[in-house]
Structure formats: C-alpha cells, structure tokens
C-alpha cells in the first residue's frame, strides 16, 4: 500500500504504477463521486499535475488525464462542472506544503516526454511521433502545468484546438483507454424513455408514452448493437437540450433534433442526471472502442426481435399512428432483415 493523501470528498493513494482515487459517500459529497467510488489511474494516463489556490481557504491538486485515456472524461467532453471533476483533490491551505510535495512526487512518476521530432515531423516512431510536446513542468513556481502559465492558451496535440480538459500544453492522445469505465449505473430514466446497457453488446431505449415524440413511437423501442456504433454524443442535462445520442457506424442521415431521433434519449428536469447518464455514456463508449469493429452480417437480427418489432408496428397501425402505406413499407423492411 502506497502513501495516502486525504482531501475533501476524496483521498489519493500513490501506488507504484497508478494513482488510486477513492471517493467519500457522505451526504455532501458530489453524487458523481459517490457513483464512481474508486478509480485506478495508471500514471501513463496522466498528462500533468497542477496545484492552484482554491475557494475559501483551500488549495486544489489537479491531475489532468491525457486526451483519449479515460472514457468518462472523453464522454464528458469538457462539460463537467469544476466541483464534479474526479481528478481534483481539494485540501485545506494548511496542507499546501504537503500538497506541493505530492505534486512533485506525482510529476516524477509521469511518463517521460518523448524526444523532439524532426523538422519534417518524423521522429523515432511510437505514439508521440510527429507531435510537438511541451514542457511538462510549467514555470519556475511549478504551478503552470504543461507548457507553463505564460502560453496564453492551450493547444491540442493535433493542430491547435483548445484542450478539452483545460490542461495546458499539447500532449499526445492515448491510443486506447487506459482507465476502466465506471461500473454503473447501466440504466437510467430520461425524459422520453429508459436507456439500458447490458455492459457488453447491446444498448436499448424503451419509450415513455408521456414523453416520447411521435417519431419515436412510430420507430418503436430500439435495440442497438455496439458493433454498429462508432461513438456517443453526451450533452449535459445541466444545459439546454441535454441528451444522449448513439452514433451509427454507417454515418447515415439522422434527424437534427434529438427529440425526433430514435437513436437518442433526451434529458429534462430530474431526468438523465449527470451521475446517472455520464457513467452510462462512458461505459457504452468503452465498449464501442473495445469491440472488434467487424461489420454486422446480413440477417443478424433474430426472428424473435423482428416479430416483436412487427407486433409493435401493428399496434401503432391499429391506433392510427401509422398509415397503411407506412405499415406495409416498414413491415417489408423488417422482414428483409431476416
């Protein structure tokens, strides 16, 4: 067991090859922390470590993950509020000296920077080949993070976009997820339906008659194979038009509004909360990245699934929500999937 640095709502344990973050489960602890419980972050998954003044007599030790290393942060895409960032450890100011010590110790454990690439962008190979990697220790006070405090902006490793994590400096994105996705929850209630994930192969949406649009009712409840997906789009429920959208690998046309898209569930007041929908999105994203990405063979849909879809379509037809022409066309499409 390594050294442990306890802060407000969390504690960091420094193992030989990873930072283990354990979250409290008290009533004042952010709900996302309570859901995450514990995270093991290999040092190779980190880009930098900073120490900055916090609010009301605190300091903040912040470990910044590399882009592409953590499915939770990839799914969040910079939308997490500061108080819910699982990589921030808040400490009383009287522990600043101790925090400085562990900041320096943690920096020493981070992977060494690659040698500078040649003028034409061809280095010695590996994941950092051709990328400009900035100094990882900031200014002389050690608080600047990657690239130091005087850069005036953060450059993405692939060409100048702002770093979504606010880390400072350009670093090579990880080639694969290095941090395990949250273990749950694997289902949650959105405003217009319930989203469920079996943890490996399928995501399903079951519509609520009180919230789902007519377009979603006509399409029926949805089941998506992870192999058919290339990504997810999570828009925080804390902002207008919050939703979770599954992105199909075929890249076909889709409705602009998530409310009309059967591959989306929309959030609302009390629905799709961050601590429920974000871990779900991260788990789905991790499954997509780890799938073999093989094309789904024709006729892979089971007869039982097709029969259920046709039965649902018939109910909509009898209720007058689907015309005779729409019923015949959709039924033919479903039968062709067998």
Which is it for the CA torsion 237, 40, 197, 285, positive or negative? positive
Q: What is the pLDDT of residue 299?
A: 45
The tens digit of pLDDT for each residue in 32-59 reads 999 999 999 999 999 999 999 999 999 9
The tens digit of pLDDT for each residue in 131-163 reads 333 233 333 333 333 333 333 333 232 333 334
Instruction: Determine the average pLDDT of the residues in 163-171.
Output: 48
Q: What is the pLDDT of residue 112?
A: 72
User: Would you say residue 105 has pLDDT above 80?
Assistant: yes
Q: Residue 265: count other Cβ atoms within 10 Å of its Cβ.
A: 32
Instruction: Determine the average pLDDT of the residues in 24-36.
Output: 93
Spatial distance between the Cα atoms of 198 and 202, rounded to a whole number of angstroms:
6
Q: What is the pLDDT of residue 114?
A: 54
Strand-pair category, 88-92 with 187-189 = unpaired
pLDDT grade, residue 334 (50/70/90)? confident
Q: What is the pLDDT of residue 222?
A: 97
Lowest mean pLDDT among 17-26, 40-49, 140-149, 208-217: 140-149
Tell me if the pTM is above 0.75: no
Q: What is the pLDDT of residue 315?
A: 66
Nearest to 75 by CA among 13, 139, 32, 117: 32
Q: What is the pLDDT of residue 306?
A: 72
The Cα-based distances of 315 to 118, 266, 318, 319 in angstroms read 65, 24, 5, 6
151 — phi, psi (to 5°)? -80, -25
Question: Where is pLDDT greater, at 308 or 189?
Answer: 189
């Amino acid at each position: 067991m390594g050294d442990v640095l306890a802060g407000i709502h969390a504690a960091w344990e420094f193992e030989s090859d990873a930072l283990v973050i354990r979250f409290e489960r008290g009533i004042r602890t952010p709900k996302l922390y309570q859901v995450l419980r514990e995270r093991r972050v290999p040092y190779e998954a980190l880009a930098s470590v900073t120490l900055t003044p916090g609010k009301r007599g605190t300091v903040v030790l912040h470990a910044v993950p590399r882009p592409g290393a953590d499915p939770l942060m990839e799914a969040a895409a910079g939308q997490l509020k500061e108080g819910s960032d699982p990589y921030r450890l808040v400490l009383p100011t009287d522990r600043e000296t101790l925090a400085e010590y562990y900041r320096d110790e943690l920096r020493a454990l981070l992977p060494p920077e690659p040698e500078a690439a040649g003028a034409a962008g061809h280095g010695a190979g590996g994941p950092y080949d051709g990328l400009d990697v900035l100094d990882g220790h900031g200014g002389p006070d050690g608080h600047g993070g990657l690239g130091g405090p005087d850069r005036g902006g953060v450059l993405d490793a692939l060409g100048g976009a702002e770093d979504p994590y606010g880390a400072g400096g350009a670093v090579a994105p990880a080639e694969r997820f290095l941090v395990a996705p949250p273990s749950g929850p694997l289902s949650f209630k959105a405003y217009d339906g319930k989203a469920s994930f079996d943890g490996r192969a399928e995501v399903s949406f079951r519509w609520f008659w009180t919230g789902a649009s007519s377009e979603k009712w006509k399409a029926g409840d949805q089941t998506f194979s992870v192999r058919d997906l290339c990504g997810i789009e999570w828009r925080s429920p804390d902002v207008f038009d919050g939703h979770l959208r599954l992105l199909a690998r075929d890249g076909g046309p889709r409705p602009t509004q998530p409310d009309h898209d059967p591959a989306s569930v929309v959030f609302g007041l009390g629905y799709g909360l961050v601590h429920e929908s974000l871990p779900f999105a991260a788990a789905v994203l991790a499954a997509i990245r780890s799938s073999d990405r093989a094309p789904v063979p024709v006729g892979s849909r089971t007869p039982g699934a097709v029969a259920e879809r046709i039965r649902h379509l018939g109910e909509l037809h009898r209720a007058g929500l689907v015309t005779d022409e729409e019923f015949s066309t959709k039924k033919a499409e479903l039968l062709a999937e067998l």
